[in-house]
A and B are shown apart, each in its own frame.
Chain A
């Protein structure tokens, strides 16, 4: 094996946090190398060092046998390293071609650069099977196509080594498969690929070789053909992990929340929600699957009272809420509807607040937190400490700023807050986004416990595996509509994937 890149004893600390502690690994030339690990294991930091975004405190980067001083992404690009970020760095209103030449315009006038880029694009498309219409606006492309533009951008800059950071986060299973075919084609042509992911399925499907990282170190290095998901999961977490949940049969009760012909049209006339009908019953978990951006966020917002539907109505525990007389989030809370929002940093908490303040968000007007005109500080602190105990939030510091907790602990805190009021209906968006495997297991068990206590739970997630393992019934959304319902027992990734792409059940 020849190594395209050798990392030797790389170290990096941020203050007291040792993000990467002495990592050595070889990236094999012309192969696909996977790096897996939980959030915070140091994978992204390591790749940022390789791409010149951070400087290592110690250690050496050797490319094709030459030690390289990687001071900025310029050096990385000069070495033929390209990075495809998790969040696309594209200008929506530009065409594919214009995006392609961004930063490498090639002279004061665009015409020359554009013509050269067009020729190059045709060549790349032919060579790697990466067909994209050069004159299409990026905003009009599907997410899968946008990702292709990102890959093209990197190749256009002459990259021979491609780093992909969680590339499948926004894709349907079918689009992911397509991505992997593209990666295989790139590999055929001698491109070296590094794939960072936390999805074991993708490691197994796409890579030749995999490094497992935990707490800033490489803990294992395997040929993909010689390992299995169970072993990798155990290596990632450092203990045995049960990927399967034990789920008892649901005891289904009365309907607690019902949506009838809900529609939501935005200011530009786009139908974000289109005639949604669904019912949530006590004691069941209903999963909403779909590629992100197909109306799931809006559905959660309408069900929790944040956004007013344009038409249709909601029936919450017998109470009818019409579109022309909508409810607000405070009223929905009073009706026993709790909501764990998709984006906890933007909605579910206030980053600058202490954890104890975050632990009463939305309930600040209720006893025991409010006494007369004042907030009862000690009661709030005690409440937060109790939530932290029950949900194992670390560190147990109610006075610490909310933003100083890791993603998983923030999510546990928000979940604890919403579940502590013993809601009748629990709406959960992306329960485990950015949460590590250990915490995922915990959060899933808590959601199941809630269900078994007679709560009606709605789980919206872009992680199909999560929906499949949690839900009793699965609804698939596409383009603001519910494409169909599948009982969990009969669901599999293929049929759900087709529905997620818009095929009728």
Chain B
């Protein structure tokens, strides 16, 4: 109940702002909703964005259950994509798709995990705070990628910093292709089979956290590090495990973006998903189910917002970011704001 009220409050606030810049809020809302779920194409794009948000949301949540605040999803996604792309560039001429795809996915996980492992190691053994180091590693990742794209991986003869196009074996099938094969026609969109990977990750994270001894130890560390020490858990190793899993999950953004959409390594594909993952995890209460719901909301906002910005020129992309920001504010920082009101309302209703 409370999350819904928070979202509603955010929308009311947005409505007031939209009113101030001279647009009818209800009209804008209708455009937003239609833009997000109005057609099979727009639903496809919404789900494609949702996939990214699930990956980064899960990444933040896993670390968070271990008491670690991973702000580095952005960089881990970037480097995960690099790993994915490198594997494909190296092997796509030799391997068929059924072998290429798992290897590329594994490479994305490995590179993402490796990028998270360095801050984890620095925190576990050297005591550097993980919030600081993961933020810095985002910048390092961005700089590294620019260097690599401009100087090393750029396709020969190309004017834009992007790699050569992957061959067919380095392409993840689109959902509309798969559905067409079983006789269901939907409009083409960016939605690809990464969404299946995202759902598998949700189930995997749920099983890991609540049904394995390591997940148990990880949560113990997050809730009460002293109890974890008492229980005989090696906190250094557990920090490494939590962050590597987190980085691997963030790295899957690269799978969705590069293998699913761009078909080549490009610059700036994480586009803020890593940071938005923090909000998604926060809203989803760090539970896979909640993260799926929050990711759907963010995906719909992303897609519907793009349509909105297209239809009404006075509402810019930045305005959509404001909406996201307000939702984060209301469901994060001000989460208990309506609670007293709600309680007194419930008490009144009960009378």
Contact = CB atoms under 8 A, between A and B. Distances in A.
A362 B231 contact: yes
Given A347-B229, A350-B223, 14 more contacts: A304-B230, A306-B229, A328-B234, A329-B231, A330-B233, A333-B232, A341-B230, A347-B226, A348-B227, A349-B224, A351-B223, A361-B230, A362-B232, A364-B216
Interface string B211-223: 1110111011001
B16 interface: no
Interface string A426-470: 000000000000000000000000000000000000000000000
B224 A351 contact: yes
B212 A330 contact: no
Contact of A361 (B207, B211, B220, B234): B220
Contact of A331 (B220, B232, B233): B232
A350 B232 contact: no
Interface string B188-217: 000000000000000000010001110111
Contacts of A361: 220, 227, 230-231
B292 to A, nearest CB: 22
B220 A375 contact: no
Interface string A343-354: 000111111110
A355 to B, nearest CB: 14
Interface of B: 207, 211-213, 215-217, 219-220, 223-224, 226-227, 229-234
Given A349-B227, A350-B227, A373 B212 contact: yes
Given A341-B230, A361-B230, A362-B230, A375 B216 contact: yes
Contacts of A375: 211-213, 215-216
Contacts of A330: 231-233
Contact of B232 (A328, A346, A349): A328
Interface string A330-372: 1111000001010000111111110001001110110001100
Interface string A122-141: 00000000000000000000
A125 to B, nearest CB: 41
A365 B207 CA distance: 16
A270 interface: no
Contacts of A249: none
A374 interface: yes
Contact of B230 (A331, A348, A369, A373): A348
A374 B211 contact: yes
25 contacts: A304-B230, A305-B232, A306-B230, A329-B229, A332-B232, A339-B230, A346-B224, A347-B224, A347-B226, A347-B227, A347-B229, A350-B220, A350-B223, A352-B223, A352-B224, A360-B216, A361-B230, A361-B231, A364-B213, A373-B212, A374-B207, A374-B211, A374-B212, A375-B212, A375-B216
Contacts of B227: 346-350, 361
| 3 A-B pairs with least C-beta separation | A330-B232, A362-B231, A329-B232
A341 B232 CA distance: 13
B65 to A, nearest CB: 11
B238 to A, nearest CB: 12
Nearest to B231: A362
Max chain B CB contacts within 10 Å: which of A349, A364, A373? A364
Contacts of A306: 229-230
A155 to B, nearest CB: 38
A331 B232 CA distance: 8
A427 to B, nearest CB: 11
A361 B230 CA distance: 9
Contacts of A347: 224, 226-227, 229-230
A361 B217 CA distance: 9
Contacts of A369: 213
A377 interface: yes
B158 to A, nearest CB: 46
A330 B207 CA distance: 24
B212 to A, nearest CB: 6
A365 to B, nearest CB: 5
Contacts of B229: 306, 329, 347
B187 to A, nearest CB: 41
Contacts of B233: 330
A423 to B, nearest CB: 14
Interface string A84-111: 0000000000000000000000000000
Contacts of B217: 364
A305 B233 CA distance: 12
A401 B84 CA distance: 42
A414 to B, nearest CB: 10
A402 B215 CA distance: 18
B340 to A, nearest CB: 16
B119 to A, nearest CB: 25
A288 B308 CA distance: 72
Contacts of B213: 364-365, 369-370, 375
Contacts of A351: 223-224
A374 B224 CA distance: 22
Nearest to A327: B232
B230 A350 contact: no
A341 B230 CA distance: 8
Contact of A377 (B211, B230, B234): B211
Contact of A357 (B207, B216, B226, B232): B216
Contacts of A362: 230-232
Contacts of B215: 375
A323 B4 CA distance: 56
A375 B207 CA distance: 9
Nearest to A358: B227
A346 B212 contact: no
A353 B207 CA distance: 16
Contacts of B216: 357, 360, 364, 375
Contacts of A352: 223-224
A329 B212 contact: no
A353 B212 CA distance: 15
A364 B231 contact: yes
Contacts of A353: 219-220, 223
A110 to B, nearest CB: 35
B318 to A, nearest CB: 39
Contacts of B232: 305, 328-333, 362
Residue from A330, A349, A360, A361 whose CB has the most chain B CB atoms within 10 Å: A361
A244 to B, nearest CB: 33
Contact of A350 (B207, B212, B224, B234): B224
B218 to A, nearest CB: 11
A328 B234 CA distance: 9
A360 B211 CA distance: 13
B27 to A, nearest CB: 45
A503 B163 CA distance: 79
Contacts of B211: 374-375, 377
A365 B219 CA distance: 14
Contacts of A339: 230
Interface in A367-418: 369-370, 373-375, 377
